[in-house]
């Protein structure tokens, strides 16, 4: 049998489970765009000035002979440490800034997320067939085509920006190091402006693609949706059995309570409500049991077995059944209707009448 087609959108539970495992839609172009933007802004800030100053200083000292004629290996080590340390001090803020930008870009896309599931070794990762499928799949093809297009577009941008300024760039060969660094920085800023604009377009396209592919990957079959509903709410058959047992237990309790009733008001067969009225302990009639249809018939039989008076009063029985919960006193609005029932009991059982008269 062929696999059922996945036509249903992913449920919130499936998306949440996938998120806990670190499986979230994440565009790689967004952090690249943000890093380019931050780099551009940093070059316009004092960080950029410090970078130019450090590069110029190292270049000047190198070209001046200070760093290219070490006398011993120890001198060479000192030179490397000096040059590397000088540049590293300037690049360190950029590195920390890039780390922060990477975290912020991830937070912007998926919110706060911490999981170790991605670091666990999974057997399906060793599956050669799945590996080949991923290697030659649509996502891999998309990334390859995107990379080729990006490199091509970036190359064209650099070419179009640099070509008109080739003469000026060639003149920098004889210029001093400070002037060369400043001109190079200006050219870099101009190139980055165009690259940033194109990167925004690539990032938007990538976000749309990644989320589309993720939504498609997370789709579910109708059976999967039904299974999840069962898992979340419980199997309907099991719930029906539990409900049946609960009703049976409630019915048993109602039948057992009839023995302590002073009167059973009926419809005559569709409804049955057991009332208790025992002044001075119970001054207001109280519903102690009620039932419909089969349960009502069983309550009638139980009342007959224990000698509990049965009064057929359909309107009152229906009102009591619908308005008064079990173990609750009747409301004032039903006093008159119940009084008729009690009056009937007075005529049936003089002893009850005497007890009620004393209570009043």
* DSSP string of 298-329, one letter each residue: HHHHHHHHHT--EEE-HHHHHHHHHH--TTEE
Share of residues in the chain with pLDDT > 70 (%): 71
Tens-binned pLDDT, residue by residue, of the chain (360 aa): 345 788 888 888 888 888 888 778 888 888 888 888 887 887 777 777 777 677 666 666 655 555 455 555 555 566 667 666 766 777 777 778 778 887 887 787 777 766 666 555 555 555 556 656 666 678 888 888 998 998 999 899 888 888 887 777 776 666 665 667 667 777 888 888 888 899 899 999 999 999 998 888 888 888 888 887 777 666 666 666 767 776 677 778 888 888 888 888 888 778 999 988 877 777 788 888 888 888 888 888 888 888 888 888 888 888 888 888 888 888 888 888 888 787 777 666 555 444 443 433
Phi, psi values for residue 290, rounded to 5°: -160, 155
Beta bridge partners of 290: 273
Beta bridge partners of 328: 287
Phi, psi values for residue 64, rounded to 5°: -80, -5
Q: Which domains does the chain have, with CATH numbers?
A: 14-219 (no CATH), 250-359 (3.40.1690.10)
State pTM to two decimals: 0.52
Q: In a 3-state reduction of DSSP, which class is residue 277? A: strand
Closest by CA to 299, choosing from 338, 337, 326, is: 326
Please tell me the distance from the alpha carbon of residue 252 to that of residue 310, in angstroms, as a whole number: 19
Q: Give the CA distances from residue 305 to residues 218, 277, 313, 331, 332, in Å, rounded to whole numbers and listed in that order.
A: 64, 20, 20, 29, 31
């Amino acid at each position: 049998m062929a696999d059922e087609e996945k036509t249903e959108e992913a449920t919130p539970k499936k998306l949440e489970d996938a998120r806990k495992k670190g499986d979230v839609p994440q565009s790689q172009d967004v952090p690249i765009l943000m890093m380019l933007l931050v780099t551009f802004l940093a070059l316009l800030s004092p960080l950029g000035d410090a970078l130019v100053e450090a590069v110029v200083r190292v270049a000047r000292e190198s070209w001046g002979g200070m760093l290219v004629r070490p006398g011993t290996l120890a001198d060479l080590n000192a030179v490397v440490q000096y040059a590397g340390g000088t540049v590293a001090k300037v690049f360190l803020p950029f590195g920390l800034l890039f780390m922060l930008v990477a975290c912020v870009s991830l937070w912007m896309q998926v919110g706060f997320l911490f999981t170790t599931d991605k670091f666990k070794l999974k057997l399906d990762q060793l599956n050669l067939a799945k590996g080949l499928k991923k290697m030659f799949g649509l996502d891999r093809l998309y990334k390859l085509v995107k990379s080729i297009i990006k490199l091509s577009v970036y190359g064209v941008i650099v070419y179009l920006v640099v070509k008109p300024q080739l003469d000026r760039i060639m003149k920098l060969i004889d210029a001093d190091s400070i002037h060369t660094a400043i001109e190079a920085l200006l050219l870099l800023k101009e190139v980055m402006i165009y690259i940033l604009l194109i990167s925004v377009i690539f990032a938007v396209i990538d976000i749309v693609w990644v989320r589309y592919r993720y939504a498609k990957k997370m789709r579910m079959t109708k059976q999967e949706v039904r299974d999840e509903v069962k898992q979340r709410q419980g199997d309907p058959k099991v719930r029906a059995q539990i409900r049946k047992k609960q009703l049976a237990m409630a019915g048993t309790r109602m039948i057992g309570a009839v023995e302590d009733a002073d009167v059973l008001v009926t419809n005559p067969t569709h409804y049955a409500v057991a009332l208790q009225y025992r002044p001075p302990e119970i001054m207001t009639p109280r519903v102690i049991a009620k039932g419909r249809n089969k349960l009502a018939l069983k309550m009638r039989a139980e009342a007959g077995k224990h000698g509990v008076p049965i009064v057929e009063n359909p309107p009152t029985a229906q009102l009591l059944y619908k308005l008064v919960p079990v173990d609750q006193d009747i409301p004032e609005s039903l006093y008159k209707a119940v009084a008729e029932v009690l009056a009937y009991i007075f005529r049936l059982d003089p002893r009850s009448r005497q007890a009620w008269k004393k209570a009043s």
